[in-house]
Copies of this chain bind each other. A is one copy, B any other.
């Protein structure tokens, strides 16, 4: 039956063993609810410290779609809109969660890397205020949504992120970065953006747990104090305030206490690079270059089919001429033996 080896995403397993240990150890402790316990407090301190952001608000939520729409809903007035790459997760994979809170998404075209530029943002804002349509007949751009890494695994460089930060400041926009896979981005050898940069250059960003070693959970770091002020109301109103907050606090405590988050994400990126190199060596073409744990490659249909008998990948796009783009994804939980098996099978179907 279902015995394929999964490389299709980075949330197929549970949590890093150190997290489970803590769950067990603390299971019968009595703690106050809703994120007011000491594990949450400690985890907040660890994250503020790691991000060099002693004043930031830190909130723990369960999932990525949840944290995205709640932050955006709390940040915008009803007539305001989100600028997002057309391929942004909020635009194409979250069942219209942002629109369901009343806000239009203004999609920015972007290449395969999925990174809108500061210039594109500037043009969009300029057009709103100076185009042929009176501004109030269209939604007011107010928040820029990006992800780090992007949907296609790419990374903003420090200079790109700084440029976005500056254009947002210049026009009074907020900058929000979805870091569902932030660990893999920070741990990439190509990264020049650190956690402290994230905190300094955005108004809010998330540190993904679900895909980076936790059972579930996203830490939301809010540097902008106005945005943080009543944020707990937003969490509760949208059904995202976990009764047993301890469960979130202790996971992030484990991840940030001694660098576990960076360590396990770095290992996953290394495994992804091994696979990438093997795929390139075997003559397959990159769909989009990625310095993180997701690799995107183009396969002839028959090879895709053959590999799929033994492995699960994610279908990404059907391409002309009998080709198919697939995502090959590692995670903190990827086993060496599975990487080895896949390497053998890649070599066996090399096209050069």
Seen from chain A, the residues whose Cβ lies within 8 Å of a Cβ on chain B are: 5-6, 9, 11-15, 17, 20, 23-24, 26-34, 62-70, 73-74, 77-79, 81, 92-97, 99-105, 132-140, 210-211, 215-216, 230, 232-244, 246-247, 314-318, 333
* CB–CB B17/A233 < 8 A: no
- Closest chain-B Cβ to A223's Cβ sits at a distance in Å of 19
* CB–CB A65/B234 < 8 A: no
> In the complex, which residues of chain B have a beta carbon less than 8 angstroms from the beta carbon of A79?
74, 95-96, 100, 230, 233-234, 237
> In the complex, which residues of chain B have a beta carbon less than 8 angstroms from the beta carbon of A93?
133, 137-138
Compute how far the CA of A35 lies from the CA of B46 in the bound complex, rounded to whole angstroms.
32
Taking the full assembly, how many copies of this chain does it contain?
Answer: 4
Which residue of B is nearest A133, CB measured?
B93
Choose one: B30, B62, B315; the contact of A132 (CB below 8 Å). B315
In the complex, 5 of the A-B residue pairs with CB atoms within 8 angstroms, ordered by the A residue number, are A14-B27, A65-B239, A94-B239, A100-B104, A132-B317
> In the complex, which residues of chain B have a beta carbon less than 8 angstroms from the beta carbon of A105?
104
* CB–CB A237/B100 < 8 A: yes
> In the complex, which residues of chain B have a beta carbon less than 8 angstroms from the beta carbon of A15?
27
> In the complex, which residues of chain B have a beta carbon less than 8 angstroms from the beta carbon of A236?
65, 94-95, 97, 136-137
- Closest chain-B Cβ to A211's Cβ sits at a distance in Å of 8
Compute how far the CA of A64 lies from the CA of B215 in the bound complex, rounded to whole angstroms.
20
- Closest chain-B Cβ to A237's Cβ sits at a distance in Å of 4
* CB–CB A63/B243 < 8 A: yes
Compute how far the CA of A319 lies from the CA of B133 in the bound complex, rounded to whole angstroms.
16
* CB–CB B17/A20 < 8 A: no
- Closest chain-B Cβ to A47's Cβ sits at a distance in Å of 21
* CB–CB B78/A242 < 8 A: no
* CB–CB A241/B63 < 8 A: yes
> In the complex, which residues of chain B have a beta carbon less than 8 angstroms from the beta carbon of A70?
239
A33 with B12: in contact, given A102-B101, A216-B247 (CB under 8 Å)? yes
* CB–CB A14/B23 < 8 A: yes
Compute how far the CA of A244 lies from the CA of B209 in the bound complex, rounded to whole angstroms.
12
Which residue of B is nearest A27, CB measured?
B14
* CB–CB B237/A216 < 8 A: no
* CB–CB A95/B23 < 8 A: no
Choose one: B6, B32, B81, B316; the contact of A30 (CB below 8 Å). B6
Instruction: With a 10 A CB-CB cut-off, give which of A9, A81, A139, A243 has the most chain B CB atoms.
Output: A243
A24 with B28: in contact, given A11-B33, A78-B74, A99-B102 (CB under 8 Å)? no
> In the complex, which residues of chain B have a beta carbon less than 8 angstroms from the beta carbon of A211?
243
Compute how far the CA of A69 lies from the CA of B24 in the bound complex, rounded to whole angstroms.
32
> In the complex, which residues of chain B have a beta carbon less than 8 angstroms from the beta carbon of A234?
78-79
Compute how far the CA of A105 lies from the CA of B91 in the bound complex, rounded to whole angstroms.
11
> In the complex, which residues of chain B have a beta carbon less than 8 angstroms from the beta carbon of A133?
92-93
> In the complex, which residues of chain B have a beta carbon less than 8 angstroms from the beta carbon of A27?
13-15, 17, 20
Choose one: B94, B100, B215, B232; the contact of A102 (CB below 8 Å). B100
A247 with B215: in contact, given A236-B65, A241-B63, A241-B65 (CB under 8 Å)? yes
* CB–CB B137/A246 < 8 A: no
